[in-house]
């Protein structure tokens, strides 16, 4: 009996550790992304960032169709078979998914490459984005295979290979993007002088910036192939020891894979298609309102290159936790223990909000200082965008995790249905804000808030109907928000004083961020948001618990 309790605790701790590993890796990659986007943004300028951002949205959309759903689907199918000790069938899922990825990834790659000019001219109303889009096209094939390998390892219960590959990918991405943008920008400027088109420089520079995407993905793929080669004997031994009699045919597996992928593609694609639709609608309406391409592409560059880059850092954490909760929930569901399912959902939501809420408050309080620190941009537009759109950190983190919870509960089509409803409301809100209210670039942020609210409400209703889970409010939302408000007030006061006394671009903001982290951590502990048992369950939890007790930070002690 003691052994069984120990195994249960081990599985719980492993879920927290694996989720923390993937979330930490995701945040690290986003931080690297912010760091490298600073020189890249400065190199490309607002126009170049507009071309880069637009091409990248089309690439992301194509990625949804070809491979983004594969890690989720493969991890879910593999973990379900591993839970039933069907190791041979788990490996057959991997082989089937790999063949699917090669065929579909290659097809979509070729379509985007040869259709880049038509897509950029007719769909995007930004013909010069074609250069960046053509460079990105081969990445679709690479990432499709990469996604299957990541999903297989996640399904086996280890997030480490995925985490390391993500960090490697982003480091290479950063270095190659900066070098590529610098070199091709100079070539483009020269070509622009010869052809009398000043936008050729930013367009070539954007194409150079996208070189990092495919190079980083290739390095990550090579790393995972190497890890798979190291694991080959263990996998072979597991298959050899498999005593299950049921062997699934590849046709049956492909059918299940497609059934699993289809709703995931639809729901995740809507998150990207709303960005593409936003930018396309924005371009057409701004053009109709008398703005020239240079003006609206510059505004778009601020939105995609500065605002989105910062907002996506905390969202990466939600993506990491979401990826880890799917196999975990699949196993919990197989055990038919409702209390365990509720526990997994509660843990994931609480840890997501513990990070998303202070990020929201921090972006509001330090919007202008962050833009000055990172981009040396003291103009009003980027700061107002960040402050007004900061709430999407909470909404998109919540909706991302709740999507994965529903997928883990075998309600694969529900997030897709909810995303479809939210998209329709989102587009209606965008048109009203652009045409009637004439909000310009701020309409993109406003309509995203509407989309996020709709997704959260619809997903929470679906989770409650599916498994009877009622979202806890006080410890998940209210107490972290109170701690974040305390943090925000202290941070604002510290930054104001340091700015008056010391001044400068770096010191006041960096010290304020450091103080903010300390104040929030203390406030969370003093308000009793985390118990001693929960802290002990974290990676290095016992050390953290000893530290908390040493400084008398726990509310109940």
Q: What is the reported pLDDT for 549?
A: 79
Q: If you write DSSP's letter for every residue of 470-529 in order, what string do you get? A: ----IIIIIHHHHHHHHHHHHHHHHHHHHHHHT-SSSHHHHHHHHHHHHHHHHHHHHTT-
Q: Encoding tokens for residue 134?
A: 């053509």
Distances (CA, A) of 64 to 61, 160, 166, 235, 254: 5, 24, 18, 29, 18
Question: Are residues 417 and 538 both part of a single domain?
Answer: no
Q: What is the reported pLDDT for 216?
A: 93
**Residue 19 to residue 403: CA distance in whole angstroms:** 16
Sign of CA dihedral 437, 440, 441, 444: positive
Q: Name which residue leads in pLDDT, 165 or 292.
A: 165
Percent of the chain exceeding pLDDT 70 equals: 89
Q: What is the reported pLDDT for 40?
A: 85
The answer to whether residue 514 scores a pLDDT higher than 80 is yes
Mean pLDDT of 286-310: 83
Question: Are residues 239 and 349 both part of a single domain?
Answer: yes
Question: Are residues 491 and 465 both part of a single domain?
Answer: no
**Residue 437 to residue 431: CA distance in whole angstroms:** 9
Question: In this predicted model, what pLDDT tens digit does every residue of 306-343 receive, in sequence order?
Answer: 898 889 888 877 776 666 676 667 677 767 778 888 88
The answer to whether residue 221 scores a pLDDT higher than 70 is yes
191-205, 468-482, 528-542: least confidently modelled range: 528-542
Question: Are residues 323 and 194 both part of a single domain?
Answer: yes
Give 199's pLDDT tier (boundaries 50, 70, 90).
confident
Q: Encoding tokens for residue 186?
A: 């100079």
Give 3's pLDDT tier (boundaries 50, 70, 90).
very low
Helices (H) and strands (E) in the chain, counts: 19, 0
The answer to whether residue 557 scores a pLDDT higher than 80 is no
Q: What is the reported pLDDT for 226?
A: 94
Q: What is the DSSP letter of 538?
A: S
Helix boundaries (H) for 248-307: 250-288, 293-302
Q: Name which residue leads in pLDDT, 280 or 18.
A: 280
Give backbone dihedrals phi and psi of 188, rounded to 5 degrees, phi first: -65, -40
| 2 within domain boundaries | no
Question: Are residues 386 and 295 both part of a single domain?
Answer: yes
| 544 within domain boundaries | yes
Number of domains in the chain: 2
**Domain end call among 439, 472, 505:** 472
Q: Are 454 and 421 in contact (CB under 8 A)?
A: yes
The residue segments making up the domain with residue 79 are 17-472
Q: Are 53 and 303 in contact (CB under 8 A)?
A: yes
Angle between helices 293-302 and 250-288 (to 10 degrees): 130
| 520 within domain boundaries | yes
**Residue 522 to residue 277: CA distance in whole angstroms:** 42
**Residue 366 to residue 361: CA distance in whole angstroms:** 9
Q: Encoding tokens for residue 23?
A: 């979330």
Give 124's pLDDT tier (boundaries 50, 70, 90).
low
446-482: burial string, b at 16+ Cβ within 10 Å, e else: bbbbbbbbbbbebbbebbeeebebeeeeebbbebbbb
| 8 within domain boundaries | no
The answer to whether residue 4 scores a pLDDT higher than 80 is no
Question: Are residues 68 and 172 both part of a single domain?
Answer: yes
268-282, 390-404, 470-484: least confidently modelled range: 268-282
Q: Name which residue leads in pLDDT, 291 or 26.
A: 291
Mean pLDDT of 380-408: 92
Mean pLDDT of 362-390: 93
| 12 within domain boundaries | no
If you search the block for the tokens 């069907």, which residue do you land on? Answer: 86
Q: What is the reported pLDDT for 13?
A: 44
**Domain end call among 412, 441, 472:** 472
Q: What is the reported pLDDT for 545?
A: 81
If you search the block for the tokens 């492909």, which residue do you land on? Answer: 254
Q: What is the reported pLDDT for 17?
A: 64
What is the C-alpha radius of gyration for the chain, rounded to an integer number of angstroms?
24
Q: What is the reported pLDDT for 7?
A: 44
Q: Encoding tokens for residue 455?
A: 């997704």
Q: Name which residue leads in pLDDT, 458 or 299.
A: 458
The answer to whether residue 21 scores a pLDDT higher than 80 is no
If you search the block for the tokens 């001219």, which residue do you land on? Answer: 121
The answer to whether residue 6 scores a pLDDT higher than 60 is no
Q: Name which residue leads in pLDDT, 227 or 542.
A: 227
Q: What is the reported pLDDT for 409?
A: 86
162: CB partners within 8 A, 6+ apart: 22, 25, 71, 150, 153, 154, 323
Question: Are residues 101 and 190 both part of a single domain?
Answer: yes
Question: Are residues 386 and 514 both part of a single domain?
Answer: no
Q: What is the reported pLDDT for 538?
A: 67
Mean pLDDT of 473-481: 94
Q: Which of 250, 267, 312 is nearest to 65 (CA)?
A: 267
**Best-predicted range by mean pLDDT (128-137, 182-191, 389-398, 530-539):** 389-398
Question: Are residues 206 and 341 both part of a single domain?
Answer: yes
Supply angle C-alpha 54, 58, 61, rounded to 5: 135
**Residue 400 to residue 490: CA distance in whole angstroms:** 30
Question: Are residues 513 and 417 both part of a single domain?
Answer: no
Question: In this predicted model, what pLDDT tens digit does every residue of 82-117 receive, in sequence order?
Answer: 888 888 898 999 999 999 999 988 998 999 899 888
Q: Are 413 and 459 in contact (CB under 8 A)?
A: no
Q: What is the reported pLDDT for 14?
A: 54
Question: Are residues 444 and 539 both part of a single domain?
Answer: no
**Domain end call among 472, 497, 526:** 472
Mean pLDDT of 152-173: 87
Question: Are residues 466 and 487 both part of a single domain?
Answer: no
CA 467 distance to own-chain centroid = 26
Q: Which of 326, 415, 369, 339 is nearest to 8 (CA)?
A: 339
Q: Name which residue leads in pLDDT, 10 or 258.
A: 258
Q: Name which residue leads in pLDDT, 280 or 317.
A: 280
Distances (CA, A) of 499 to 189, 370, 512: 39, 13, 10
| 11 within domain boundaries | no
Mean pLDDT of 34-53: 79
Q: Are 185 and 201 in contact (CB under 8 A)?
A: yes
Q: What is the reported pLDDT for 517?
A: 94
H helix or E strand, kind and range, residue 377? none
| 4 within domain boundaries | no
Mean pLDDT of 35-49: 80
Q: What is the reported pLDDT for 272?
A: 65
| 348 within domain boundaries | yes
Mean pLDDT over each residue of the chain, to the nearest integer: 84
The region that residue 472 occupies, defined by phi over 0 for left and psi between -120 and 50 for alpha, beta otherwise, is beta
Q: Name which residue leads in pLDDT, 317 or 499.
A: 499
333: CB partners within 8 A, 6+ apart: 341, 408, 409, 410
**Residue 205 to residue 271: CA distance in whole angstroms:** 27
The answer to whether residue 464 scores a pLDDT higher than 60 is yes
Q: Are 325 and 404 in contact (CB under 8 A)?
A: yes
547: CB partners within 8 A, 6+ apart: none
Q: What is the reported pLDDT for 37?
A: 75
**Residue 508 to residue 495: CA distance in whole angstroms:** 5
């Amino acid at each position: 009996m003691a052994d069984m309790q120990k195994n249960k605790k081990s599985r719980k701790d492993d879920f927290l550790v694996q989720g923390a590993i993937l979330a930490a890796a995701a945040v690290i990659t986003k931080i690297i992304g912010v760091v490298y986007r600073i020189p890249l943004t400065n190199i490309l300028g607002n126009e170049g960032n507009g071309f880069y951002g637009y091409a990248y949205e089309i690439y992301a959309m194509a990625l949804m169709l070809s491979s983004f759903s594969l890690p989720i689907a493969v991890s879910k199918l593999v973990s379900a078979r591993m839970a039933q000790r069907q190791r041979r069938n788990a490996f057959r899922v991997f082989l089937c998914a790999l063949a699917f990825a090669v065929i579909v990834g290659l097809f979509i790659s070729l379509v985007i490459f040869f259709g880049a000019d038509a897509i950029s001219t007719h769909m995007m109303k930004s013909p010069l984005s074609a250069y960046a889009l053509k460079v990105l096209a081969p990445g679709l094939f690479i990432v499709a295979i990469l996604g299957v390998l990541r999903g297989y390892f996640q399904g086996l219960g280890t997030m480490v290979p995925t985490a390391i590959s993500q960090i490697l990918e982003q480091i290479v991405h950063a270095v190659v993007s900066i070098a590529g943008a610098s070199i091709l920008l100079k070539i483009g400027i020269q070509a622009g002088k010869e052809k009398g088109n000043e936008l050729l420089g930013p367009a070539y520079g954007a194409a150079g910036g996208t070189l990092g995407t495919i190079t980083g993905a290739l390095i990550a793929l090579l790393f995972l192939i190497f890890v798979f080669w190291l694991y080959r004997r263990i996998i072979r031994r597991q298959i050899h020891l498999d005593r299950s009699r049921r062997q699934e045919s590849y046709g049956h597996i492909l059918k299940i894979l497609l059934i699993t992928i289809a709703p995931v593609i639809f729901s995740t694609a809507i998150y990207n298609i709303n960005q593409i639709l936003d930018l396309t609608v924005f371009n057409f309406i701004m053009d109709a309102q008398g703005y020239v391409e240079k003006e609206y592409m510059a505004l778009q560059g601020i939105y995609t290159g500065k605002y989105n880059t910062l907002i996506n850092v905390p969202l990466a954490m939600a993506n990491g936790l979401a990826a880890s909760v799917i196999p975990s929930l699949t196993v919990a569901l197989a055990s038919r223990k409702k209390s365990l399912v509720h526990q997994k959902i509660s843990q994931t939501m609480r840890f997501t909000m513990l990070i998303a809420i202070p990020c929201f408050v921090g972006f509001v309080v330090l919007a202008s200082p962050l833009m000055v620190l990172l981009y040396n941009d003291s103009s009003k537009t980027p700061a107002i965008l960040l402050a007004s759109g900061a709430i999407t950190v909470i909404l998109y983190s919540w909706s991302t995790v709740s999507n994965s919870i529903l997928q883990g509960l075998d309600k694969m089509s529900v997030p897709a249905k909810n995303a479809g409803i939210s998209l329709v409301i989102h587009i209606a809100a965008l048109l009203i804000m652009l045409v009637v209210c004439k909000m310009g670039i701020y309409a993109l942020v406003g309509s995203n808030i509407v989309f996020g609210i709709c997704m959260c409400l619809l997903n929470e209703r679906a989770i409650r109907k599916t498994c009877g889970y009622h979202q806890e409010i006080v410890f998940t939302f209210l107490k972290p928000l109170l701690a974040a408000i305390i943090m925000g007030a202290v941070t604002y006061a510290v930054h104001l004083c340091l700015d008056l006394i010391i001044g400068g671009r770096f010191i006041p903001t960096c010290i304020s961020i450091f103080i903010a982290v300390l104040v929030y951590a203390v406030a969370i502990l003093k308000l009793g948001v985390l118990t001693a048992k929960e802290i002990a369950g974290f990676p290095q939890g016992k050390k953290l618990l000893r530290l908390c007790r040493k400084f008398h930070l726990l509310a109940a002690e």
